[in-house]
Amino acid sequence: MPKVQTSCPRCKSPVIADLEQLLDVSVDPSVKQRLLSGQVNVIHCPTCGFNGMVSAPLVYHDPEKELLLTYFPPELGLSVNDQERLIGPLINQITNRLPLEKRKAYLLRPQTMLTFQTLIERILEADGITREVLEKQQKRFDLIQRLVGTVSPEERKALMQQEEGLIDADFFLMLSQITEAMLAQGDERTARVLASLQQEALNNTKTGQEIKNQTQEVQEILQKLQQASRQGLTREKLLDLMLDARSEAALTALVGLVRNGLDYEFFQILTERIDAAQDNTEKERLEALRTKLLEYSRQIDEQLQRRYEQSRRLVQQIASAQNIEQAIEESLEAIDEFFFKALDEELEQARKNADLERISRLQRMRAHLEKLSAPPPEVAFLEELLSLPSYEERQKKMQEKVELVTEEFLQLVSGLIAQGEKQNQPPELLSALREINRIALRMTMMANLNQ
């Protein structure tokens, strides 16, 4: 994101900020949630303390929903010609990123949103979220504000009971999202207030009690899974765990963890149990479980496939970028295990096609990613020292690489010793760290004396 100078909306002081104008979901899937939660183009003014979004032109693109939306804050007073001059290069950038088969007619007809609120509503509308849902979300947000502003615990409890119809699963989700946003902004005091409010809502409302019970059930079934894994997890034991799940939440959590185990052989065992069941009630229960497991597995597979397709498109876009290294660094938030899988498959396909130029670009991508993920030199040096068996060998190695025995290295070792003591790390590890620390301190002192 480019750094630009803008003005604080409150005091008009100049502020340097990271401003985004092109919000492309195909490049950075997280940008949608950041926009919806008000975490795009946020500034902090050191003069007056303002912390919030600033007015900036936006272009939003979601190829899966065929959305190309533009928004120009009215207070900027931009003419139509100025607006077209601004968005033209951004839309060209979007089009150039897409493969030919993905370039559709909606790219020629960007929709102009007159207000920021209509922009948000249009994005949510594409997800099937109606105005009525949005209004209820606003009521939940207003309730959170009222609860935060209520000092007395008794009054908060009475307010929760009075507005219990608004305190549902979406209320707790919103509360968690706001808490995370406050932590991201460094506002720990407000985050603690919201966390305390969440605990009160869990204790004093019907939905809160249901969530607590579901959480406990999920923890119990996961403990059973861990115990079965230690003893040797078989498909038969896994089926028994599925039957022990007392709630949908526990069952879906279990399926999410063991999806790879729900293969053809697993369902064959389940079908054999259904056929062998003598009691109709038991047979119906097993059949219902099979239906649920097939549906949950399908949903997980579709979700994983969507994530993979997003990563595959991102690999293709970066491989086509003029500056591959810069494109990678601008997309780091979206790079995960799916991205690496897609990168390996693209590289394999390029080798099959003997496409030397594409092989070279993909290899550049992998080399830069390896460079970015490599540990700092002092970390790699410490790992090397810990692998040596004796004091003498560590001392010799540190003398050979004296240039790595820096202040940063000393801080790293001291921090690990303090952390290890708190966490009761193995005595042999702590002993080795203390030994390395003594050698490093002695070498630093001798270097200072010789200066």
AA letter at 256: G
pLDDT at position 26 over 80:
yes
Q: Which domain holds residue 382?
A: 377-449
Average pLDDT over residues 282-308: 92
- What is the C-alpha separation between 25 and 40, in angstroms, rounded? 13
pTM, two decimals, is 0.55
- Are 104 and 182 found together in one domain? no
DSSP labels, 200-243: HHHHHSHHHHHHHHHHHHHHHHHHHHHHHHHH---HHHHHHHHH
Confidence of residue 449 (pLDDT cuts 50, 70, 90): low
Q: How do residues 311-369 score in pLDDT, each as one tens digit?
A: 898 899 899 888 998 888 888 878 888 999 999 999 999 999 999 999 999 999 999 98
- Are 330 and 420 found together in one domain? no
Average pLDDT over residues 414-442: 85
Q: How do residues 151-162 score in pLDDT, each as one tens digit?
A: 888 999 999 999
Q: How do residues 167-180 score in pLDDT, each as one tens digit?
A: 998 899 888 888 88
Q: Is 440 exposed, middle or buried (0-12, 13-18, 19+ CB in 10 A)?
A: buried
Percentage of the residues of the chain whose pLDDT score is greater than 70: 98
- Are 344 and 384 found together in one domain? no
Give SS3 for 71. strand
Quick check: is 214 in a domain? no
pLDDT at position 51 over 90:
no
- Are 164 and 101 found together in one domain? no
Structure letter (DSSP) for residue 104: -
pLDDT at 450: 63
- What is the C-alpha separation between 400 and 384, in angstroms, rounded? 13
- Tell which of 60, 91, 126 closes a domain: 126
- Tell which of 204, 235, 259 closes a domain: 204
Using the structure block, give the residue that is written with the tokens 């921090």: 415
pLDDT at 34: 82
- Are 353 and 396 found together in one domain? no
pLDDT at 356: 93
Q: How do residues 80-90 score in pLDDT, each as one tens digit?
A: 888 888 888 88
Quick check: is 20 in a domain? yes
Average pLDDT over residues 260-264: 91
- What is the C-alpha separation between 32 and 120, in angstroms, rounded? 10
Number of structural domains found in the chain: 4
- Tell which of 102, 126, 150 closes a domain: 126
Quick check: is 282 in a domain? no
Quick check: is 81 in a domain? yes
Q: How do residues 178-211 score in pLDDT, each as one tens digit?
A: 888 777 767 788 888 899 999 999 999 999 998 8
pLDDT at 56: 85
- Are 381 and 362 found together in one domain? no
AA letter at 244: D
pLDDT at position 295 over 90:
yes
- Are 9 and 86 found together in one domain? yes
pLDDT at 451: 57
Average pLDDT over residues 94-114: 86
Average pLDDT over residues 103-124: 88
Ranges 30-34, 67-71, 268-272, 301-305: which has the least confidence: 30-34
pLDDT at 7: 79
Sequence-separated (6 or more) residues with CB below 8 Å from residue 215: 249
Sequence-separated (6 or more) residues with CB below 8 Å from residue 319: 346, 358, 361, 362, 365
